Amino acid sequence: MGVLGYVVLWFLHNYTDIRYKGAVLAFVCVLFLIIWEVFIVDNVQWHRIRGAQLILAMKMISLAIDLDQGTVVEFPNPLQYLGYCYFVGSVIFGPWLRYKDYCQVENPVDMNVSWIWEVLKRCVKSVICLNMSVCIIPIMSTFGATHKWFLAYQDAMSFRFSHYFISFMSEASCITAGVGFTQSENDVTWDLSVAKPMNIEMPRSLVEVVTSWNLPMHTFLKNYIFKTARTLGTFPAIILTYAASAILHGLNFQLAAVLLSLGFYSYVEYVLRKRLSEIFSACVLAKKCNPDCTHRHKETSIIVFVANLLFGFLAVFHLAYLGVMFDSNSQAQEEGYNMGHTLGKWSQLDYASHYVVLCSFIFYKLI
């Protein structure tokens, strides 16, 4: 796919006047992924390489859009392009990197004690998260807690920690390869961040969860999808952004259902909390207010604190519901979770989360 992408991009750049090369290349990538998944590779093999294909497609699309917008001025030669697409620091675990961030490898900094420490620190965090996901969290139910919602939370938490394992490992691989730093006059800070576990495990809102789950992918979707589609309106732009994410992840009902549900959930939460903040002049927005905001009731108010805490608990409830189908069934994990598995898991929880969001949306419309 990488070679095909370069041929298409080179042709569009040299022999056409098409302004939207990113859109054309995005169509080519999606078509290639669909054909590859449906007609060529079996489910088990595709499930193993889907993540790497996703990262590759994101790199190709972002490079094409950056060329459209003039962010990348010089068209990369084949070695530069292939080096970016198959960069050893992100080709397996990710994360997605912009082309200009990848170009840091052309101007390497000294690999000093600080660099070694940052790599080791992320490796240790990764191993801890792996042990939490595989060894510690699965035995929680042996202590007598067998309620269906506790088991749902347990399965979802185990999945989340497996994601943190991959996130920290991807940070370590990128930093090891020399990418992911901010350089000032006299200092180099290795500040690459892929996920923020604390913002997910103890969230203020679902909006914060979505942002903190995968920071590079959030940046990609926000800059290259959401901002382009925002002319259609906020809600259509949000749904199109999550739909694009679902398509890039492959033809998987489970992921599409979760991502589209998250899109609707986060929109409802955002508009409801915005309306409540306007009515009560309180800092209850989905995102934390600036200290100099105009709200009369600040974050330090007990009522505001309790309201934000309740919204946080509601976000945890939704996370348990949405993550319940990512269980430890080895066969389902290898082949990918199907529609029956997803709907079966949600039906065991009586579709409670969807009903809560629907009621929240109705309440928002009434006020």
Tens digit of pLDDT at every position of the chain (367 positions): 889 999 999 998 888 888 888 889 999 998 988 888 888 887 778 778 888 899 999 999 999 999 998 899 899 999 999 999 999 999 988 899 999 999 888 777 877 888 999 999 999 999 999 999 999 998 887 776 678 888 889 989 999 999 999 999 999 999 999 898 888 777 888 889 999 999 999 999 999 999 999 999 999 999 998 988 888 888 888 888 888 888 888 777 888 888 889 989 999 999 999 999 999 999 999 999 988 889 999 998 999 999 999 999 999 999 999 988 776 654 555 556 667 778 888 899 999 999 999 999 999 999 8
249 labelled catalytic: yes
CB 215, CB 94: distance < 8 Å? no
Please tell me the distance from the alpha carbon of residue 66 to that of residue 96, in angstroms, as a whole number. Answer: 14
Amino acid residing at 121: K
**124, 134, 281, 313, 353 from 298: Cα distances, Å:** 38, 41, 9, 20, 29
Q: Is 179 in contact with 89 (CB distance < 8 Å)?
A: yes
Token pair recorded at residue 135: 């060894």
Catalytic residue among 47, 249, 295, 318: 249
Q: What is the pTM of this model?
A: 0.90
The number of helices, as runs of H, and strands, as runs of E, in the chain is 17, 2
Residue whose C-alpha is closest to residue 257's, from 346, 329, 149, 151: 346
- Distances in Å between the Cα of 203 and the Cα atoms of 87, 149, 208, 339 are 33, 19, 6, 28
DSSP string, 309-344: HHHHHHHHHHHHHHTTTS---HHHHHH---HHHHHH
| Tokens encoding 252 | 């998987």
Residue with tokens 């189908």: 325
Q: How many CB atoms lie within 10 A of CB 305?
A: 14
* Kind of pairing between the strands at 188-189 and 182-183: antiparallel
Structure tokens at 219: 């940046």
At residue 335, the pLDDT reads 57
Structure tokens at 207: 């909006």
Distance CA 170, CA 1 (A): 22
